[in-house]
Amino acid sequence: MTQIGTNIKKLRSVKGLSQQAFGELFNLTRGNISSYEEFRAEPKVSVILQIAKYFSIPVAHLLEKKLTVNEILNFEDHFTEDSAQLAIKNMDPVHFLNRETIQQSSDNKISIDDLPMFYFPITTKNQVIAIEHNGLIHHPAAFPFEENSILFFEKLQLNILHTLDKHFGLYIKGSDYFFGTYEVKNKQIDLLLNDWKKQSFSVEDMGCFWKLHGKYEKIA
């Protein structure tokens, strides 16, 4: 028995796709996807080739091994996991928010704890979230990052508040989230999306504020 059913389910989870949405990508029904995931049937070779091409995953990996989140996100080209122990020892777990998850989220309410995770080398001890930059997240007009790049944000801590002025940040609370630019005046800290929308920082809501830590951009 191949791993195709397990991997289709994992792909859906990471990409935030329902069985119906995944099936529509390949002219399949929700019932087809359900039967693959429950090992009641396997897709035709032509469908397997389509899935592998669409997600840029080797056919052999799709069929023979249980894919990791890193492989699904195509981070394996640069950061490999020889074993689970190596990943835990040398890398850090990071929650990942992508375009598909936003589209599939009920009322666009995002729960960070429910997001899929992958392992990545992080140089901060603070909690980090990775986000696929896309048009579904509002951002300032001068936001300098290319669409589809992966942006890493670290959760604010009291000891980094003095570093915020003019830095890019993220606000995320329920269905309200956007990229912005921090403005610090005396002890007042605001995250500005534009001239009309901003969010004022408070210690009580500190868990909703993040500071840009870095970006990942694959170069062809």
Within this chain, do residues 95 and 202 fall inside the same structural domain, yes or no? yes
Co-location of 210 and 155 in the same domain:
yes
Spell 203-217 as b/e; 16+ CB within 10 A means b.
eeeeebbbbbbeeee
Tell me, yes or no, whether 198 lies in a domain.
yes
Q: Quick one: which of 113, 92, 94 has its CA closest to 172?
A: 113
Is 73 part of a structural domain of the chain?
A: no
SS3 (DSSP) at 213: strand
> What is the chain's mean pLDDT, rounded?
83
Select the more confidently predicted residue: 115 or 178.
178
> What is the model's pLDDT at position 33?
93
User: pLDDT of 150-164, one tens digit each?
Assistant: 899 999 999 889 889
Q: Are residues 123 and 185 in the same domain?
A: yes
The CATH number for 89's domain is 2.10.109
**Does residue 210 share a domain with residue 138?**
yes
Q: Tell me how far apart the alpha carbons of residues 15 and 202 are, in angstroms, rounded to a whole number.
A: 33
Nearest to 12 by CA among 41, 46, 37, 49: 37
> Quick check: is 72 in a domain?
no
Look at residue 76 and tell me if it is in a domain: no
How many domains does the chain divide into?
2
Per-range mean pLDDT, top range of 104-108, 172-176, 190-194: 190-194
Q: Would you call 211 helix, strand, or coil by DSSP? A: strand
Shared-domain flag, residues 46 and 114: no
Which tokens belong to 83? 């074993």
The DSSP secondary structure of 113-173, one letter per residue, reads: GGS-EEEE--S-SS-EEEEE--TTSB--TT----TT-EEEEEEP-GGGGGG-TT-EEEEEE
The answer to whether the beta carbons of residues 201 and 207 sit under 8 Å apart is: no
Whether residue 150 is found in the same domain as residue 114: yes
User: Which is more confident, 72 or 178?
Assistant: 178
Chain segment 38-49, per-residue pLDDT in tens = 999 999 988 998
pTM: 0.64
Task: Point out the domain boundary residue: 67, 101, 122.
Answer: 67
pLDDT in tens, 29-74: 999 999 999 999 999 988 998 898 888 888 888 888 888 877 777 6
Q: Is 103 in the same domain as 163? A: yes
Where residue 33 sits, what CATH number does that domain have? 1.10.260.40
Task: Give the residue numbers spanning the domain of 137.
Answer: 84-216
Query: Is the residue at 27 inside a domain?
Result: yes
